[in-house]
Amino acid sequence: MARIPLAIIGSGGMGTRHMFGLAELEKAGLNPFDLVAVCDIDQTRADLLADAARDALGRRPAVCADIEGVLRAGAQAVDITTVPRFHHTVAADAIGLGLDVMVEKPVGLTIAAAHALQDALRGSDRILSVAENFRRDPTNRLVKSLIEEGVLGEPRYFHQSSSGGRDLMAISVWRHLKDESGILFDAGTHYTDMMEYYLGPVASVYAQMRLFEQVRYNPAATGGAPASDPGGVYGQFQAAMPAEFTATADDALFALVNFESGAVGQYTENRAGHGRSEWARTVHGSAGAVDIPKDRSGEPLVVTLEGSRTFTGAEILPLVPGFQLDDATAALFGGERATAYGLDFETVDRLLLAVEYAEFGACIASRSRPEVGFDEGMRAIAVCYAMMESGAAGGAIVKVDDVLGGAVREYQRSIDIAIGTSA
């Protein structure tokens, strides 16, 4: 079958990570795409990505400065990896030009931005896949199976807490600027997607939110090692970023989450934590609980059932006879019932992106709906903003439906003004 001509739009760190994911799919003999172009308004970045693609894929894609250049290069599908404020506009333009789209999360920087993309999708037959990689981790697939097969009983309680980061820059400056995304939103849309993946729709939340570290520091600008460099691709850009800057986005969120099912969740994301770094995620049900390792760590789950019976790794498999990974994940992670994997973060990051590409290609070929489409992407940002709207209002109870409908949007208002969207 002929390969699908693809372009990556956005040639920074995330675009580079995605290209390496495509290279992993190529090595596995599962790549449905031909990378014909890379696109960025910064030609230096585009050239760097094109060179990296030549080394990883064996052919240098064309370098383009705009979406019209992508069309001239013959692309029929695009992968959008720009900074978040442009996700909805570039995706809408691509849909309008008849291209199938995979767009990095978030699907929009605000609810109003996402609605603008929804307007572009209305009446279109184009595929829109939202790149949410955490749920594709084999350990998270196994958690989903434990819940669906009733091993934990009736789900009652979700807990996630993390702390770390101190006053250092998290990857890039824009992750600390409210009008560009902010770290709570950038990371939070991953985690709200995971909440609903595990336990279904969130009905309402209430939260407290803080900006603890008003000045952030970038050690790479003064010759030090990057404070954070996931995937090993951001360091080349961080030296040119400011050594210190003022943060405008909150960096800590403490929330109580009410699921439509009646389950309750606690969620803490402290990106200004000092001293000991922490991570914990658990799901508790009427018959047991599961301790879940950090995403992309490859560490095994620990399941504890009544009578303090504990199962970990492959010991869990007899509990979930229906557990089976999709073909691409199985090929990349060592089998259709893989429960853990001894791989470094960089490799896991690339493999999960490869899984996203495999599904995107399959959806294009079959004209079928992706697992994470517009609706799922919209709900992830709505739950995240419900928490942030609650925090900005001092802890008021916020219904997710009110955020989805635009009735609650005060926190987002200044962002909408900055990016030119409206409710």
Query: Of 150, 379, 133, 152, nearest to 282 (Cα)?
Result: 152
CB 167 within 8 A of CB 217: yes
This prediction has a pTM of 0.96
Distance CA 133, CA 135 (A): 6
pLDDT single digits (tens) 383-414: 999 999 999 999 999 999 999 999 999 999 99
Domains (range + CATH), the chain: 4-133 (3.40.50.720), 135-341 (3.30.360.10)
Write phi, then psi, for 416 (nearest 5 degrees): -60, -40
Mean of pLDDT over the chain: 96
Q: What is the pLDDT of residues 263-283, one digit of tens each?
A: 999 999 999 999 999 999 999
CB atoms within 10 A of CB 224: 13
What pLDDT is stored for residue 400 in this prediction? 98
Q: Which residues are 31's β-sheet partners?
A: none
pLDDT of residue 170: 95
How far is it, in rounded angstroms, from Cα 209 to Cα 394?
A: 8
Torsion of CA 422, 106, 281, 266, to 10 degrees: 0
> What totals of helices (H) and strands (E) does the chain contain, helices first?
13, 17
Show pLDDT as tens, one digit a residue, over the chain (423 residues): 689 999 999 999 999 999 999 999 999 999 999 999 999 999 999 999 999 999 999 999 999 999 999 999 999 999 999 999 999 999 999 999 999 999 999 999 999 999 999 999 999 999 999 999 999 999 999 999 999 999 999 999 999 999 999 999 999 999 999 999 999 999 999 999 999 999 999 999 999 999 999 999 999 999 998 888 887 888 888 999 999 999 999 999 999 999 999 999 999 999 999 999 999 999 999 999 999 999 999 999 999 998 889 999 999 999 999 999 999 999 999 999 999 888 999 999 999 999 999 999 999 999 999 999 999 999 999 999 999 999 999 999 999 999 999 999 999 999 999 999 975
Q: Hey, is 75 helix, strand or coil?
A: coil
CA distance 404 to 261: 19
Share of the chain above pLDDT 70, in %: 100
Q: What is the DSSP letter of 81?
A: -
Question: For residue 401, what is the enclosing H or E element?
Answer: helix 400-404
Both structure tokens of 184: 């709570």
31 CA to centre of own chain: 21
pLDDT in tens, 182-200: 999 999 999 999 999 999 9
Question: At how many degrees (to 10) do helices 410-419 and 111-121 cross?
Answer: 60
For every residue of 164-211, DSSP letters joined together read: EETTB--SSGGGG-GGG--HHHHHHHHHHHHHHHHH--EEEEEEEEE-
Instruction: Name the one residue in this structure whose structure tokens are 């009983």.
Output: 153
pLDDT in tens, 205-224: 999 999 999 999 999 999 99
CA distance 266 to 152: 18
Strand order in the sheet with 62-64: 62-64, 33-39, 4-9, 77-80, 100-104, 128-131
CA-CA-CA-CA torsion for 365, 91, 22, 229, nearest 10 degrees?
Answer: -160
pLDDT of residue 349: 95
3-state secondary structure 284-326: EECCEEEECCCCCCCCCCEEEEHHHEEEEHHHHHHHCCCCCCC
Write down the pLDDT at residue 124. Answer: 96
pLDDT at 346: 94
* Tens-place pLDDT, residues 242-259: 999 999 999 999 999 999
3-state secondary structure 337-392: CCCCCCCCHHHHHHHHHHHHHHHHHHHHHHCCCCCCCHHHHHHHHHHHHHHHHHHH
